[in-house]
Amino acid sequence: MKIFDIALRDLVRSFRSASALIFMFGVPLLVTGMFYFMFGNLARDGGFNLPRTKVIVANLDAGGPKFQTSTKGIPGSANARTLGELVVSILQSDDLAELITVTRAPTAEAARAAVDSQTSQVAIIIPADFSKKFADPDAQATIEFYQDPTLTLGPGIIRSILNRFMDGMAGVKIVVKVFVDAASPQDYILVNQIVRRYLDTSLAEKEDVASALIISRTPTAAPKEDNPLLRIVAPIMGGMMVFYAFFTGASTAQSILKEEEERTLPRLFTTPTPQSTILGGKFLAVFLTVLVQVITLIIAARLIFQIEWGALDLVAPVAVGIVFIASSFGIFVNSLMKDTKQSGVLFGGVLTITGMLGMISIFALNSPGAARLSETVSLLVPQGWAIRGLLQMMNGNNALDVLLTVLAMFVWSVAFFVIGVWRFNQRYA
């Protein structure tokens, strides 16, 4: 019973301290909130909210010799009668509707004027001889690209789309030229088939042009949640929780040294209470304090940031694993300290360095090349295992993987706890 009295007393003291509360709950949520707002331009519904680029097209193309080819694989190409119309059709396709808004201008000057007056951001001017020059093996078909110089991202995407189109069409020209040069006149009839096949395998090889240009990759350790904002915020929240859980473990365990200095610990030893009960109560307080912190942060993060932690039957063991490893690490580290004057070394050095090392796997989530190395490095410190467990849980890894990580956390915890308890018992023997 006395063990709970001591633990309860420590809990009351911890939760009465405004600074402790700020570090336990406020700072982790605040830091995560900062990232949440920093990346707030990410759509809550799962996509980037890039502003649409306003494109004005002056299609002056008068047409040229027709290729009897199918352009059915090219988006929006159904009604294209000239190459200029084909370019416009691609820009107006549904696949690009999220990225650009296309209007038409009657003349090149009107298109440029629209950019100059900032009513449009990009002007595309397709000259009158565009199709004709394309059909001429010795001529160079060009499109004028006129953009607002202050913008980069939107015009860059459109330029990429056009480049891809122009590259494809240039390829067609080269293929036809090579064929015509090498084939006998009776084989010229095959030109249409060659062009069709080339277009089928180049321009139309993807389902849509936009997807060929924008490669979407899901980080290996990101949650299944489609919302990219949460893909960023969730690991950060997990990292913050682990980082500050270790801080709480250490600072609560430091109350043993603090009580020694405040002389309440020696006084406790003058009461008819066994030393094992006194130290046990102190250790229990550390576990309970971190437990309250972790549970509160998990719930708060779910409510505030809509973070999906994963299946409940895995959240519980991972949370308990974090509580055990953070608490026992705090007890262990404090058992090595002479007095609270060394807390600067503990908090500024040990906890910060090991915490950052543990979180390195989060920082490297979107750098696939560094992910493996960073995960290996992070597993050198206990925080790394806690974060590994969290990420596995959020990624929906299979239960065995998660439980193995939890098991590893318990092994760390037992080692830290045994050493810490032994050292404290020696100290007060």
Partner 1 sequence: MSANNIAISVTDLHKSFGELKAVQGVSFQVQRGEIFSLLGPNGAGKTTTISILSTLLRPDQGDAQVMGHSIRRDPMQVKSVLGVVPQEIALYEDLTARENLDFWGKMYGLRGAALRQRVQEVLEIIGLADRANGRVGKFSGGMKRRVNIGVALLHKPQVIYMDEPTVGIDPQSRRNILDSVVALKNQGMTVLYTTHYMEEAQELSDHIAIMDRGKLIAGGTNAELVQLVGEQTRIDLTLTVEASRVLPIWRAVEGVAHVSAEDGRVTVLVADSNLVLPRLFESATRLAARITSVDIREPNLEAVFLHLTGRALRD
For position 340 contacting partner 1 by CB under 8 A, the verdict is no
Judged by beta carbon, residue 275 or residue 376, the one nearer partner 1 is: 275
For position 369 contacting partner 1 by CB under 8 A, the verdict is no
The pair of structure tokens assigned to 114 is 């629209």
Separation between Cα atoms, residue 413 and residue 407, nearest integer Å = 10
For position 272 contacting partner 1 by CB under 8 A, the verdict is yes
Judged by beta carbon, residue 15 or residue 145, the one nearer partner 1 is: 15
For position 427 contacting partner 1 by CB under 8 A, the verdict is no
Asked whether 247 and 329 are in contact (CB, 8 A), the reply is: no
What minimum distance in Å lies between the beta carbon of 330 and partner 1? 20
Judged by beta carbon, residue 11 or residue 99, the one nearer partner 1 is: 11
Sign of the dihedral defined by the CA atoms of residues 178, 181, 182, 184, in that order: positive
Separation between Cα atoms, residue 191 and residue 315, nearest integer Å = 63
Out of 48, 188, 269, 422, name the contact with partner 1 by CB under 8 A: 269
Judged by beta carbon, residue 264 or residue 398, the one nearer partner 1 is: 264
Buried b (16+ CB within 10 A) or exposed e, 177-188: eeeeeeeeeeee
For position 266 contacting partner 1 by CB under 8 A, the verdict is yes
For position 339 contacting partner 1 by CB under 8 A, the verdict is no
What minimum distance in Å lies between the beta carbon of 417 and partner 1? 24
Out of 66, 267, 341, 372, name the contact with partner 1 by CB under 8 A: 267
Stretch that binds partner 1, among 2-10, 185-193, 203-211, 371-379 (CB under 8 A): 2-10
Separation between Cα atoms, residue 362 and residue 243, nearest integer Å = 12
Judged by beta carbon, residue 61 or residue 259, the one nearer partner 1 is: 259
**How many alpha carbons lie under 13 Å from residue 358 in its C-beta half-sphere?**
31
What minimum distance in Å lies between the beta carbon of 47 and partner 1? 50
Q: Are strands 144-147 and 122-126 parallel, antiparallel or unpaired?
A: antiparallel
What minimum distance in Å lies between the beta carbon of 12 and partner 1? 7
Stretch that binds partner 1, among 6-14, 124-132, 157-165, 403-411 (CB under 8 A): 6-14
Site for partner 1 in 313-332 (CB under 8 A): none
What minimum distance in Å lies between the beta carbon of 1 and partner 1? 8
3-state secondary structure of 42: strand
Total of chain residues touching partner 1, rule CB under 8 A: 20
Judged by beta carbon, residue 259 or residue 375, the one nearer partner 1 is: 259
Stretch that binds partner 1, among 90-98, 265-273, 287-295, 298-306 (CB under 8 A): 265-273
Helix segments in 306-398, DSSP class H:
312-335, 343, 352-363, 368-378, 382-395
Asked whether 343 and 415 are in contact (CB, 8 A), the reply is: no
Asked whether 147 and 122 are in contact (CB, 8 A), the reply is: yes
For position 52 contacting partner 1 by CB under 8 A, the verdict is no
Stretch that binds partner 1, among 139-147, 271-279, 284-292, 412-420 (CB under 8 A): 271-279
Q: Which residues contact 24 (CB under 8 A, 6 or more apart)?
A: 244, 248, 289, 293, 296
Out of 103, 119, 264, 425, name the contact with partner 1 by CB under 8 A: 264
Asked whether 195 and 71 are in contact (CB, 8 A), the reply is: no
3-state secondary structure of 124: strand
What minimum distance in Å lies between the beta carbon of 11 and partner 1? 12
For position 268 contacting partner 1 by CB under 8 A, the verdict is yes
Per-position x/- string for 244-263, each x denoting binding to partner 1 as judged by CB under 8 A, each - no binding = ------------------xx
What minimum distance in Å lies between the beta carbon of 384 and partner 1? 35
Separation between Cα atoms, residue 69 and residue 71, nearest integer Å = 6
Separation between Cα atoms, residue 362 and residue 412, nearest integer Å = 21
Out of 118, 211, 271, 398, name the contact with partner 1 by CB under 8 A: 271
Per-position x/- string for 210-249, each x denoting binding to partner 1 as judged by CB under 8 A, each - no binding = ----------------------------------------
How far are the Cα atoms of 1, 147, 329, 406, 421 from residue 403, in angstroms, in the given order?
Answer: 33, 55, 20, 5, 26
Separation between Cα atoms, residue 128 and residue 212, nearest integer Å = 29
Separation between Cα atoms, residue 356 and residue 354, nearest integer Å = 6
For position 399 contacting partner 1 by CB under 8 A, the verdict is no
Give the residues lining the site for partner 1 (CB under 8 A): 1-2, 5, 9, 12-13, 16-17, 262-264, 266-274
